[in-house]
Chains A and B, each alone.
Chain A
Amino acid sequence: MSVSTRSVLVVSDRWSIDDVWAVAPDAASRKAAVKVGKAASWPQRGAVAASAGGTSAVWGECQGSGAKPYLAAVHLDGGTGPAYKCSCPSRKIPCKHVLGLLALWARGEVADREDKPSWVDSWLDGRAARQARAADPAKAAPADPARAAATLRAREEAVAAGLAELRLWLHDQIDAGLAEVPKLGYDHWDRMAKRLTDAKARGASGWVSRLPSVARQESWPERVLEHLGLLHLLIDGYGAGDALPERTRGAVRSRVGITLKAEEVRAGGESVRDTWLVLGRRTVPGAEDDMTGLRVWLRGTGTGRTALALSFGRADQVPTTPYRLGTAVEADLSFYPDGHRIVPLPGTEAPGPVPQGTTVAAALDSHAAVLAEDPWRETWPVVLADAVPARDDRWYLADPDGDALPLAAGTPRRLLAVTGGRPATVAAEWSPAEGLTPITVWDRTGKAIPL
């Protein structure tokens, strides 16, 4: 990859104002950006056209209260999602100046310009060079394969030791009985969780730390037993090692906490070329308290393969993703060993068709099939065809056969508004525990609308 091919990665159509606010780290920046996003504040501004059409970058000089203008720019079609730059001292990314500039561009008030200031040139060139380096797998490979293998082996052994302790601990809990669980203090759980963290099994540690909150739920004896049972199964799975099918093994290792770097996945993971239709996105709390996670689900139009692009940001930021709703991306995607998660890399973007939906029964079948590979999986994307909102004392989404799945949240306001209660194709995340969370609806004209 070289500088000249940058523009073929993603053709960035102009964003809608919603797209702009979606990248705002918080409500305050958004509010501040509204003030900054007036044409009068940006005497110098321009958009850099991409050679394949669309926009490659947007830049501007914001006249603030100080003598020097703030220099803000956004690189739209480079690497994993948009990149932001601003000379202001704010620590927020993107800052209000960048957001204001994007809002101005979204409203069509930033015109394409041939010339650009040197600070824009040097920033974009620097980014292109860094990407070229990162994209070269030879450079991403570990310097010393033997040493890396030894490190990994040591880690696996540490995890195995931690899990062996966890097994004994679980047995102790069950032998003693769960009756006193709600009365136990945090340190009862924290000791075990900390031991697992020390053993580099952060995933398993997370499962243990969630136990106090599970024990506070309604019908807690059932919830706690389910949780402990699945945790026990995870230990067994780790012990089974190579005897497991490849995807199950991948799921076990990632859930226990043995992580892979994106470069490792790109170098050694399964790579699938397809046109990937973006099904929808959902922002969720991250695995750690100060993080926000973004799940974007893709489906291969040729392979039918489901892919999950995860990205994370600090809790006050919306994580970025190279995939935009309503598009299909032609790309070689590298899959993690669990067979679903991918390394989010951009590809050639084109308008996406309405996905093929199924009945509720077929959607549940697909979920059951994925549970057979990964019984710990908590959420799975389904696309329902001709789905209609239904309700008794709560809300559901029903298919033409009359089968209905309960919704996780209350009134599906936007879904009702867009469909008027008429059948439509709806993409949703399904979780038997939480219910169905619609994430995208395709309206009569085939336009994808985020929910």
Chain B
Amino acid sequence: MTTSDPTPTSSPAPSRAADSWDLLVSTALVGTARRAVPETPDLPATAGTEGAAALLDRAALATVRRLAGYTPARVDPVDPDPGPDLPEVGEQAARRLEAVLADRPELLPEWLGLVAAAGLRAPAEHLPALLDRGARDSSLRSAVAAACGSRGRWLARFEADWEYLLTESGPDDVFDEDTWLHGTAGERRRMLGALRAADPARGRELLAGVWPDLRKAELRRRLLEAMETGLGPDDADLLETALDDKGANVRGLALSLLTRLPHSAHADRLRAHVRAHAGPGPKGTVVTTPVEPGETGLLRDLALARPTGRIGRRERAEYLWTLVTRTPLDVWTDLFGTDPTGVLKRVSRSGDDELHDALLNAIGVQEDAVWARAALGLLKGRVTDRMVTAARGRRSLQLEPLLRVLPAEERCALVERSFGPGTGTRDVWSLLNAVPGPWTAKLAHQVVKRLGGKGWDHDQSGYRSVCLLVAERTPPELVDDLPRETPAPAAVGGPGDHAYQSLLDTLRFRLDMHKELV
């Protein structure tokens, strides 16, 4: 093997020899046994003068001449990135990104967040890789948009898969009338978002003005998304209009936005619906009455499709669940004249698991810290017991949304009180998995102490899982305070040892990552 050059395989650009070339090709197709080799006065003389040899010689000559006489095209360059852009991260951080992309994808959101917080931009050469990650994983998109700067947005227009980036709002977006009127759906959404950030009322009027003419439900949904920016009581009317939309996604979005306006007429109607369907029962309990398919006003207010046939238990449960989730929680305290704890106790007494779980769900959706505190307080350190009970009843105790509502210090303190040396390893994991980062140092130390406790020899995978949680959710500075040796009794050299040492590796890696992006 001396060369890897294959033969030229497709056409060089046409040139003046085209006529002779065509004659040579047609003669070659018919065969020189049946047709004479054509005269080619525009080609220099060749060695072969007749028959196949002459034809091949002339073909070679014409081919090489066309290869060598290639004529360039005239094409307009793309409009360059007008800039200016945020400064790029340093070389260390660029290397770190390579390592993250190559083997620690779980740390990518953190890296992107640090870059955006530092007011920097990801290295230009890695922007395509980052845009690809965002294309595959929509949860990364806003972080990718923030870390890829204006270069990223400029770049995104060149690949269909990257267009999502153009719909992600950036802090430096400025409303531009022309783009608003003539842009793509995503660009229009961004323009509306920019206007909403600056002047919510004008943004609302602009959308209300074009709303009846927006033919595509998908476009209506995307533009309605922009209302999230600067959302206020004055937006309720437009959202009510959207609640009657033909598109189910548009209705659903309008309902989510209305849920965040507890003083609207819509919220008041929901309160009335709750009062109509729930009330005090005997012995301090709660009784509910099912929602009937004929209650069209209620179904409309909850963006629910009107049922086409008979409805069963499942539909009724769904109606009630949605009603509880979307109605401001204050209706319950008013209804029973008590505080959130009182309401929750009353519901528990009733043994109505569905209502209980719907209320907990509502607390997470409405992000109400007072209610979250009350709900968690009732668990009184028996969080893990409750989770086990819930799991047995095939229900899920949605602990994570409740914990998320609380400030980090408070939720970590609460979790610390919820497990100890005697808590089963499975429960420790389930509990910790529900605690969003960043964890406090105190919680982290307690977790590591528990790792040195009993039970793990029968639950190696639990041990590994907890190590992973610590590695990702603990502030990385903590690495210097944690024991260097694997907490006993995970045998040194065994799989547990490896998991703990990996935990330290990850924390060190993250610590370097933070230092590089200050």
Interface residues of A (CB under 8 A from B): 16-18, 21, 30, 34, 37-41, 63, 103, 106-107, 170-179, 202-203, 207, 210, 214, 217-219, 221-230, 232-233, 236, 254-255, 257-260, 284-288, 291, 293, 295, 310, 312, 336, 341, 360-361, 364, 367-368, 371-372, 375-379, 388-392, 396, 398, 402-406, 411, 413-414, 416-422, 431-434, 443, 449
Contacts and interface: CB of A to CB of B under 8 A. Distances in A.
Interface in B54-87: 55-64, 66-70, 72-81, 83
Contacts of B3: 203, 254-255, 287, 310, 341
Nearest to A293: B4
Contacts of A293: 4
Given A175-B52, A229-B56, A404-B74, A255 B81 contact: no
Contacts of B158: 411, 413, 416
A171 B52 contact: yes
B174 interface: no
Nearest to B9: A433
Nearest to B509: A107
Contacts of A284: 4
Contacts of B504: 40
Interface in B1-48: 1-13, 21, 24-25, 28-34, 47
Interface stretch (B124-132, B335-343, B395-403, B410-418): B124-132
Given A390-B77, A398-B77, A420-B154, A177 B34 contact: yes
Contacts of B155: 413, 416-417
Interface string B299-335: 0000000000000000000000000000000000000
B354 to A, nearest CB: 45
A344 B70 CA distance: 32
A210 B128 contact: no
B10 A21 contact: no
A371 B151 contact: no
B351 interface: no
16 contacts: A175-B51, A177-B30, A179-B29, A228-B28, A229-B62, A233-B56, A367-B70, A378-B8, A388-B80, A391-B78, A404-B75, A417-B126, A420-B151, A431-B8, A432-B8, A433-B10
A171 B31 CA distance: 10
What 6 A-B pairs have minimum CB-CB distances, sorted nearest first?
A177-B31, A40-B501, A229-B59, A420-B81, A421-B80, A229-B60
Given A230-B60, A388-B78, A171 B8 contact: no
A433 B12 contact: yes
A221 to B, nearest CB: 5
B125 A432 contact: no
B159 interface: yes
B152 to A, nearest CB: 8
A310 B4 contact: yes
Contacts of B505: 38-40
Interface residues of B, number: 76
B4 A417 contact: no
Contacts of A179: 29-31
A120 to B, nearest CB: 23
Given A388-B80, A404-B72, A176 B12 contact: no
A334 B470 CA distance: 57
- Residue among B25, B77, B158 with the highest chain A CB neighbour number at 10 A: B77
Given A177-B29, A236-B47, A421 B78 contact: yes
Contacts of A232: 53, 56-57, 59-60
B99 interface: yes
Nearest to B71: A364
A432 B70 contact: yes
Contacts of A172: 52
B103 interface: yes
Contacts of A389: 77-78
- Residue among B5, B61, B66, B95 with the highest chain A CB neighbour number at 10 A: B5
Contact of B28 (A107, A203, A225, A233): A225
A403 B72 contact: yes
B426 interface: no
Nearest to A443: B124
Contact of B72 (A227, A364, A411): A364
A11 to B, nearest CB: 19
A175 B31 CA distance: 5
Contact of A411 (B13, B73, B159, B497): B159
B154 A413 contact: no
A257 B62 CA distance: 25
A268 B76 CA distance: 49
B125 A449 contact: yes
A176 B33 contact: yes
Given A171-B52, A179-B29, A295-B4, A217 B77 contact: no
B1 A420 contact: no
Nearest to B8: A433
A100 B55 CA distance: 59
Contact of B7 (A171, A378, A411, A449): A378
Contact of A390 (B56, B78, B95, B127): B78
B5 A377 contact: yes
B50 to A, nearest CB: 11
A442 B232 CA distance: 50
B10 A217 contact: yes
B56 A174 contact: yes
